[in-house]
Structure 1
Amino acid sequence: MTTHQRSEHTTRTGPSALRLRVLPAEVHAALLRAPGPYTASFLQTPAWARVKAGWQAQSLGWVDARERLVGSALVLFRQLPGVRRSFAYLPEGPLVDWADPQLDRWLEPLLDHLRGTGAFAVRMGPPLAYRRWTARTLKDAAGPGRRVADVLPDLVEPLGAAVSDRLRDAGWRRCGEDGQGGDAQPRLVFEVPLAGRSLDDLWTGLNQEWRRNIKKAAKSRVYTRIEGPEALPAFHNLLRITERRDGFDLGRSLEYYQRQYAELNAEAPGRMRLYTARHEGEMLAAHTLLTAPDGNRVWYQTGASADHRREVRPSNALQWRMLCDAQSMGAAVYDMRGVTDDLDPAARAHGLLRWKLGTGGDAVETLGEWELPLHGAVNKTLHRAMHAYLTHR
């Protein structure tokens, strides 16, 4: 990434003009903690830039005519091997007023700034929901060959639909629609609403299988607790077991999780927690939980479990403990991250979705990730390289 010569950018004048400036990390972090219309993803925190080894990063802020910071973005830059150009990536960002009918006054300063860095393309993930399906709707729709997209949603979010149209009109392309380069972050996620719900409400929202398994774990004396970074090696060992059993590979080393734990908690103590479930002293499951800067959302990020003693249901016990803790912290949403869109009960991929449906939450299709070339048509070789970096997992 080349050094940009100007610290601020604006593309219009007058009372509606917004300027973009580079922010110190501590200013950016403080801004994300303030209440606002949107909750920042953990992927938009300055700490996340320090987690992502091999990437360069900038914290950016939008300033209005009254010199108030009114929006922010964490931009990650990846320089391609053998060239001096990079691509810019805003995972689950930026954090701007997406409801503003003059969306270009937010995006134009950003694009101007990124062109100045030498980036050849930008990818962003507006943090907006597009369509929602309740657990009941998807359970009723399950069948051979069925996909979530085949099912009429319970709700189409008006803002998500409007922003999608505005981005297309401005020349942005939704990732994966041309058969190349899908999203790097999950487009279909699973959310359990917590706002206004008591623990009794959460309990009755679980299906019978979940309630039975949680009771079985308690009867079997499965103990759940929060452990420190010294337990990360055991967590990672369980993760490798889980990957082999379920046929996937996250490609994340123990050092990655140690760095994530250290950096997120250095920015805000308790930002990342490691929950464990033990039976007769042995760790049988371990899950990581991340908290948004404003505390309004928590994420179940990564889960791992052993191959043996599965009958004592340690993962169900852990999830119930994490749901209860999220509710007591005052979070409005418990985000279980990505799920497959496969509704075929016979498909192996359907198992994780079925497990999460048991919590009684909603499957949510986000707006997904969008791309725009910054210097005319993007060279196809550069484009393929960019997709390889972002979608290899």
Structure 2
Amino acid sequence: MLTLTSPPPATRSAAALDLDMLTTAEHLAFLRGRRARTDAGPGQVSFLQTPAWARVKQGWLAESLGWRDERGLVVGAALVLYRRLPHLRRSFAYLPEGPVIDWSDPALAGRWLAPLLEWLRGAGAFAVRMGPPLAYRHWTAATLKAATGPGRRIGDVLPDLVDPLGAAVADRLRDAGWRRCAAEDGGDAQPRLVFEVPLAGRRREDLWAGLNQEWRRNVRKAAKSGVVCGATGPEDLPVFHELLGVTERRDGFRLGRSLAYFQRQYEALNAEEPDRMRLYTARHEGRVLAAHTMVRAADGSRIWYQTGASADLGREVRPSNGLQWRMLCDAHELGASVYDMRGIPDTLDPADRAHGLLRWKLGTGGRAVEMSGEWELPLDGALDGVVNRTLLRAMHGFLARR
């Protein structure tokens, strides 16, 4: 059933907010306190918008920006990454899963985005891409399971919920000249379709009941077989990365992330806030059979299962199911509202190789969510249309290779 809720009323001023640079301390203080603010507005606080993420992304320049109200208080923040194309003085600006602002403000373009665009032009950016951290459409696991069939895709299925704010923001961005990234642009750099398990207001018993019969059987099988699941430390990142290579070859994908990348991520996120990122392993008879990474939002509202890896051997003792159940329970204990299992394919065709990942995540009883996606806007009026399109194509090629 399609359900709509009313967007918030248009009551705020269109006057642009002040924008300036934030210190790391100011940026973190805003993100950490946002969950408790009653006037913060909707939207996620992604780990990709923390100051530490700038230290993970080698080859990009970065700065923290903040919107201030008339009292000088920080009411919005952004981590902006800049990538300079070879032999050019112009940069491409990217705000992954951000900025963190009040997206429900009807004066979004003039009050929030106008000062951002002015800043980016002054910084020498020829174009900007951002990813509003807003949900657009939701499908329950039951809905997608019932719709599974040859040639079917998630987009073919009537959603259980359409978020009017996601639709309203899309209209406001189009009216302001933004363009949603499409396949010819290299697609979204971050997943548009994700899978979430709601945690707020649920007991552990409710989470267990939400698993389908196969999942419950597999979690029990892991425990009965003596699989030991739990958080470990950075010393196990090499075995995680080795298993990731095994997983990539088995499942036919390629992340292209080095061991040094994950070591840098672990160090940077945990240096900014202890226990921000965890590595979990499932061990059986002394051997690591699966290893998954978990990341916590700066405000604690969301926890992500970021990257998973498993061995070809020992799959009969179901280490990944046991490991995910442990991570799900830990996320619940940490007080997160949502356990985010990140990207899923859009295929509902059981014959498609990629459908196995979706089927596995559906077993948790969560929901598939289509995010608002990433949007781009050319910035440099001094460049003619042909030159700007050429620069954007070059940047899209880089992002696609990444």
Bucket of the pairwise TM-score, normalised by the shorter protein: over 0.9
Alignment pair present for 1:22 and 2:21: yes
Q: Which amino acid aligns with 1:310?
A: R
* 1:1-393 alignment, distance < 5 Å: 16-34=15-33, 35=35, 36=37, 37=41, 38-104=43-109, 105-176=111-182, 179-376=184-381, 377=385, 379-393=388-402
Q: What is the alpha-carbon distance in structure 2 between the residues aligned to residue 287 and residue 263 of structure 1?
A: 18
Q: Does structure 2 conserve the Cα–Cα contact (< 8 Å) formed by 1:39 and 1:294?
A: no
Deviation at 1:374, TM superposition (A): 0.2
Deviation digits for residues 142-196 of structure 1 (CA, Å, limit 9, x no counterpart)? 100000000001111010000000000110000006x332100000000000000
Displaced runs of 4+ in structure 1, greater than 6 A?
Answer: none
Q: What is the alpha-carbon distance in structure 1 between the residues aligned to residue 390 and residue 171 of structure 2?
A: 28
More displaced stretch, 37-46 vs 181-190: 37-46
Q: Does structure 2 conserve the Cα–Cα contact (< 8 Å) formed by 1:17 and 1:64?
A: no
Q: Which amino acid aligns with 1:280?
A: E
Aligned to 1:115, what secondary structure does the other structure show?
helix
Q: Does structure 1 conserve the Cα–Cα contact (< 8 Å) formed by 2:14 and 2:107?
A: no
Q: Does structure 2 conserve the Cα–Cα contact (< 8 Å) formed by 1:63 and 1:71?
A: yes
Q: Does structure 2 conserve the Cα–Cα contact (< 8 Å) formed by 1:16 and 1:65?
A: no
Deviation digits for residues 43-93 of structure 1 (CA, Å, limit 9, x no counterpart)? 000000000010000100000111110000000000001111110000000
Q: What is the alpha-carbon distance in structure 1 between the residues aligned to residue 16 and residue 60 of structure 2?
A: 31
Q: Does structure 1 conserve the Cα–Cα contact (< 8 Å) formed by 2:227 and 2:283?
A: yes
* Percent of paired sites with the same residue: 72
Q: Does structure 2 conserve the Cα–Cα contact (< 8 Å) formed by 1:15 and 1:65?
A: no
TM normalised by structure 2 equals 0.93
Aligned to 1:46, what secondary structure does the other structure show?
coil
Q: What is the alpha-carbon distance in structure 1 between the residues aligned to residue 241 and residue 63 of structure 2?
A: 30
Deviation at 1:381, TM superposition (A): 2.0
Q: Match of 2:8? A: none
Q: Match of 1:3? A: none
Shift in alpha-carbon separation, 1:343–1:87, aligned structure 2, 3 A: same
Deviation at 1:110, TM superposition (A): 0.1
Aligned to 1:243, what secondary structure does the other structure show?
helix
Deviation at 1:386, TM superposition (A): 1.0
**Structure 1, unaligned stretches of length 5 or more?**
1-13
Q: Which amino acid aligns with 2:295?
A: L
Q: Which amino acid aligns with 2:22?
A: L
Deviation at 1:15, TM superposition (A): 9.0
Deviation at 1:388, TM superposition (A): 1.6
More displaced stretch, 376-385 vs 191-200: 376-385
Deviation at 1:383, TM superposition (A): 0.9
Deviation digits for residues 341-377 of structure 1 (CA, Å, limit 9, x no counterpart)? 0000111110000000000000000000000000143
Q: What is the alpha-carbon distance in structure 1 between the residues aligned to residue 323 and residue 16 of structure 2?
A: 48
Q: Which amino acid aligns with 1:204?
A: A
Q: What is the alpha-carbon distance in structure 2 between the residues aligned to residue 17 and residue 85 of structure 1?
A: 26
Q: Which amino acid aligns with 1:384?
A: R
Q: Which amino acid aligns with 1:390?
A: L
Shift in alpha-carbon separation, 1:321–1:101, aligned structure 2, 3 A: same
Q: What is the alpha-carbon distance in structure 1 between the residues aligned to residue 340 and residue 16 of structure 2?
A: 35
Deviation at 1:392, TM superposition (A): 2.0
Q: Which amino acid aligns with 1:385?
A: A
TM normalised by structure 1 equals 0.95
Deviation at 1:379, TM superposition (A): 2.0
Aligned to 1:92, what secondary structure does the other structure show?
coil
Aligned to 1:209, what secondary structure does the other structure show?
helix
Q: Would you say how many aligned residue pairs link Structure 1 and Structure 2?
A: 379
**Structure 2, unaligned stretches of length 5 or more?**
1-12
